[in-house]
């Protein structure tokens, strides 16, 4: 009897322990579930708040996304089903407030996608990207919500409101119509299905491209290094070390390949490097992009018909400055003929040198950059290796800051009390020089690394606005410069310095923003106008004020000599044929691909055929061959829109003449107009209207042709 009682007591104790442990585990689970997710938190801290990069982990993204979707559906439902009559405040301002948290999440999600793309993140991306597309479709296809937007857009109330509020209403209305708000239910369903498929295909395209850029590289042996400039070898040695290899490695990215092609005397190695680079996404393996491109183009063509447009190009340009593909193609073709003629001249100059050296070759694409440098030396007594020692990355950054102070009245102060997503990233507080008032934060991420996409870009982590309290902007510039030895300055080419100023122009477009609503803030303008502010900023690099003060020799600290400056100026139009044609070929093929409609497209065959029709010089290729054309296949952003760079450059060349016609590059009066009507207004003004307010007239192509050294006659 006592023994039975003992067993009973023992069983009860064990059951109690199990129950207690189970309860503890449940409490632990509840505690974990209830733990704050940094991606759901409001950005707090100094400087008007900042992204909590130090707290974010990969496992935070999916639960944050799920929660934000639920919350957003509830808020959109409340706006669209509000029983009160639609007003600007309860509809448009409510939408502006609603989007803050989801936009913050997406901005940080894309930081990881562009800069920290590990295999684990890519799996997450494959799941989330199609659902993001579906999320936006649900908003744009919400009939009740669109009805309210349309009512506000056509209301008497709007007519008495500010021009910016009227512009916001126009933006919402036209955007909803553009994305299919007026389609019937069956059409909406088809569009949503297409967008989900495209999101998956676009993501896969980007991942394939990144895989080819990081998985393929050129290894050099000791004998391969003969004649290669020392700074290239230093960077290549550091890259090998990062990959835990001996020797030297040339990465399969533009920032590594282009300098190598210009500086490597070994023709066989140049060809290997060139082929590796131009065949990214086109190797018939698991990372091949051709089939995906065929499907992307088919789906885009099908969607454009649902939207009521003959082709994807017609739909995409319907809300741009160009308005029609025909207008864009007309501009491209105007420049094509003189640019090709210049390429033939450039090739002839190269061939003369090759023949003089008894090289026994005909110039091929892998020779272009190498022999172009020889021509530069021969015609202008200018060698890239002579210029590069004066272009230190950090000094160029200082020069950009000084320029921003002169033109935009901004000051930059480096800060160390905000978290960053990688140790390479540094942060500056941006303030008004006169008042000291904070304008925003600027993040700088200059170096190449594994998991980071190639190229250079600007990102807005947060848009400037003031309708819901004063919100300052946060922007970043990201590049892919190759790190050298620790403690040694990073020397960059003149072209790289130009790109640095270009991307900083985008950052200044965001930082200078002075608007009420985030949807109209900063760079939220037409894609064929958004490159204008960045392109005009390139022109300040070559001003004497920058070069004399910041182009300092990395060893002696002495400024670049006047005589060398003159030689740089004399060669300013050098190689414009090459740079213009490689761009134009990409822009024209982009447009032709998206004008092809329902035609089933083999990307490689289509590219070859169109380039043959254009009489593309055989000594060069497109800047972005179709299987690696991230601008147009990573998302819809620049699809049928790569022409935008030339369209914008027509504006930038014409706009800079406003300075040269006045007191020069730092003319305060002209500079103020540029800020007032271009950089600070975001999307609050029609782009053509804003430009005319700045310049007093529409832009002329004449300035562009002059800046590139091409012949031009205004006669039709």
What residues act catalytically?
503
CB atoms within 10 A of CB 411: 18
Contact criterion met (CB below 8 Å) for 645 and 531: yes
Exposed e or buried b for every residue in 638-654, given b needs 16+ CB within 10 A? bbbbbbbbbbbbbbbbb
Q: Determine the Cα angle at 406 with ends 403 and 408, to 5°.
A: 90
How many angstroms separate the CA atoms of 297 and 627, rounded?
12
Residues 446, 481 contacting (CB under 8 angstroms): yes
Rounded Cα distance, 632 and 557, in Å: 43
Write the DSSP string, 81-108.
T-SSPP-IIIIIIHHHHHHHHHHHHHHH
Between CA 394 and CA 399, with CA 396 as vertex, the angle to 5 degrees is 115
Helix/strand/coil (H/E/C) assignment for every residue in 156-209: HHHHCCCHHHHHHHHHHHHHHHHCCCCCCHHHHHHHHHHHHHHHHHHHHHHHHH
- SS3 letters across 395-424: HHHHHHHHHHHHHHCEEEEEECCCCCCCCC
* Cα–Cα dist 489/301, whole Å: 49
Q: Are 643 and 591 in contact (CB under 8 A)?
A: yes
Phi, psi of 526 (to 5 degrees): -60, 140
DSSP single-letter state for residue 429: E
**Which secondary-structure segment (H or E) carries 546?**
helix 544-550
Separation of alpha carbons 562 and 255, rounded Å: 29
In the numeric block, which tokens belong to residue 594?
Answer: 């998206």
| Pairing of β 217-220 and β 457-462 | unpaired
Q: Are 14 and 3 in contact (CB under 8 A)?
A: no
Q: Report the helix count and the strand count for the chain, using DSSP H and E.
A: 28, 7
Q: Is 518 exposed, middle or buried (0-12, 13-18, 19+ CB in 10 A)?
A: buried
Phi, psi of 106 (to 5 degrees): -60, -40
Rounded to whole angstroms, what are the CA distances from 84 to 90, 91, 98, 144?
8, 10, 18, 13
Q: Give residues with Cβ within 8 angstroms of 427, minimum separation 6.
A: 414, 415, 416, 418, 420, 441, 442, 443, 444
Question: Is residue 583 within 8 Å of 646, Cβ to Cβ?
Answer: yes
Instruction: Tell me how crowded residue 697 is: count the other CB atoms within 10 A of its CB.
Output: 10
């Amino acid at each position: 009897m006592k023994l039975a009682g003992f067993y009973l007591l023992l069983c009860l104790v064990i059951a109690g322990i199990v129950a207690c442990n189970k309860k503890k585990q449940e409490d632990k689970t509840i505690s974990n579930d209830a733990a704050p997710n940094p991606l759901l938190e409001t950005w707090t801290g100094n400087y008007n708040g900042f992204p909590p990069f130090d707290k974010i982990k990969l496992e935070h993204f999916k639960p944050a996304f799920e929660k934000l979707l639920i919350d957003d559906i509830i808020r959109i439902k409340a706006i669209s089903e509000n029983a009160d009559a639609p007003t600007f405040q309860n509809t448009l301002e409510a939408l502006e407030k609603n989007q803050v948290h989801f936009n913050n999440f997406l901005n940080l999600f894309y930081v990881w996608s562009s800069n920290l793309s590990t295999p684990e993140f890519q799996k997450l991306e494959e799941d989330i990207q199609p659902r993001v597309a579906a999320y936006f479709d649900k908003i744009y296809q919400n009939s009740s919500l669109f009805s309210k937007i349309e009512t506000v857009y056509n209301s008497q109330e709007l007519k008495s409101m500010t021009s910016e509020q009227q512009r916001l209403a126009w933006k919402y209305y036209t955007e909803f119509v553009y994305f299919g708000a007026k389609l019937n239910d069956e059409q909406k369903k088809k569009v949503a299905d297409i967008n989900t498929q495209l999101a998956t295909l676009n993501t896969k395209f980007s991942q394939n491209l990144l895989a080819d850029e990081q998985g393929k590289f050129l290894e050099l042996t000791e004998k391969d290094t003969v004649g290669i400039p020392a700074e290239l070898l230093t960077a290549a040695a550091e890259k090998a070390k990062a990959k835990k290899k001996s020797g030297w490695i040339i990465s399969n990215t533009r920032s590594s390949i282009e300098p190598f092609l210009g500086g490597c005397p070994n023709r066989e190695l140049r060809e290997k490097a060139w082929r590796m680079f131009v065949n990214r996404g086109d190797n018939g393996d698991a990372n091949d992009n051709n089939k995906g491109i065929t499907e992307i183009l088919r789906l885009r063509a099908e969607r454009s018909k649902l939207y009521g447009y003959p082709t994807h190009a017609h739909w995409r340009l319907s809300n741009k400055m160009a308005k029609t593909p025909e207008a864009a193609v007309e501009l491209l073709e105007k420049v094509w003929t003189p640019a090709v003629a210049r390429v033939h001249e450039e090739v002839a100059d190269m061939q003369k040198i090759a023949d003089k050296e008894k090289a026994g070759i005909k110039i091929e694409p892998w020779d272009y950059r190498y022999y172009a440098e020889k021509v530069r030396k021969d015609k202008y007594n200018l060698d890239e290796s002579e210029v590069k020692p004066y272009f230190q990355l950090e000094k160029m950054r200082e020069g950009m800051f000084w320029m921003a102070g002169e033109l935009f009245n901004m000051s930059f102060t480096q800060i160390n009390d905000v978290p960053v997503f990688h140790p390479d990233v540094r942060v500056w507080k941006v303030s008004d020089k006169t008042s000291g008032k904070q304008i925003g934060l600027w993040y700088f991420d200059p170096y190449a690394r594994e998991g980071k996409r190639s190229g250079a870009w600007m990102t807005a982590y947060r848009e400037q606005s003031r309708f819901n309290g004063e919100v300052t902007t946060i922007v970043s510039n990201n590049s892919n410069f190759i790190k050298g030895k620790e403690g040694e300055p990073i020397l960059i080419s003149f072209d790289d310095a130009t790109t640095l100023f270009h991307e900083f122009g985008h950052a200044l477009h965001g930082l200078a923003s002075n608007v009420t609503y985030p949807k109209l803030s900063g760079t939220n303008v037409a894609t064929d106008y958004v490159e204008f502010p960045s392109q005009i900023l390139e022109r300040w690099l070559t001003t004497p004020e920058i070069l004399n003060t910041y182009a300092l020799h990395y060893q002696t600290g002495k400024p670049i000599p006047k005589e060398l400056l003159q030689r740089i100026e004399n060669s300013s139009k050098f190689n414009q044929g090459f740079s213009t044609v490689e761009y134009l070929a990409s822009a024209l093929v982009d447009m032709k691909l998206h004008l092809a409609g329902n035609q089933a497209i083999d990307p490689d065959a289509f590219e070859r055929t169109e380039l043959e029709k254009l009489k593309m010089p055989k000594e060069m290729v497109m800047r972005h061959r179709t299987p690696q054309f991230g601008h147009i296949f990573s998302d819809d952003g620049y699809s049928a829109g790569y022409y935008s760079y030339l369209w914008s450059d027509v504006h930038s060349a014409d706009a800079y003449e406003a300075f040269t016609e006045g007191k020069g590059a730092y003319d305060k009066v002209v500079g103020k107009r540029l800020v007032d009507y271009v950089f600070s207004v975001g999307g609050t003004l029609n782009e053509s209207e804003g430009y005319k307010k700045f310049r007093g007239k529409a832009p002329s192509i004449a300035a562009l042709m002059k800046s590139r050294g091409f012949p031009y006659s205004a006669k039709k």
